[in-house]
Amino acid sequence: MNEQTIQQNIRLALSKAGSKVFRNNQGGYKDATGRWVRYGVANPGGSDLIGWTPVTITSDMVGKRIAVFTAVEVKGPKTKISPEQTNFIDRVKFDGGLAGVARSPEDAITITNQYATQQN
- Say whether pLDDT at 120 is over 50: no
Instruction: List, for residues 13-56, the tens digit of each pLDDT value.
Output: 999 999 999 999 999 999 999 999 999 999 989 999 999 998 87
Domain 3-119 has CATH 3.30.70.3000: no
Instruction: List, for residues 59-70, the tens digit of each pLDDT value.
Output: 777 777 788 999
Q: Locate the domains of the chain by residue range.
A: 3-119
Q: Are strands 65-74 and 98-102 parallel, antiparallel or unpaired?
A: parallel
Tell me the average pLDDT of the chain.
91
Q: How many residues does the chain have?
A: 120
Give the pTM.
0.75
Per DSSP, the chain holds a count of helices (H) and strands (E) of 4, 6
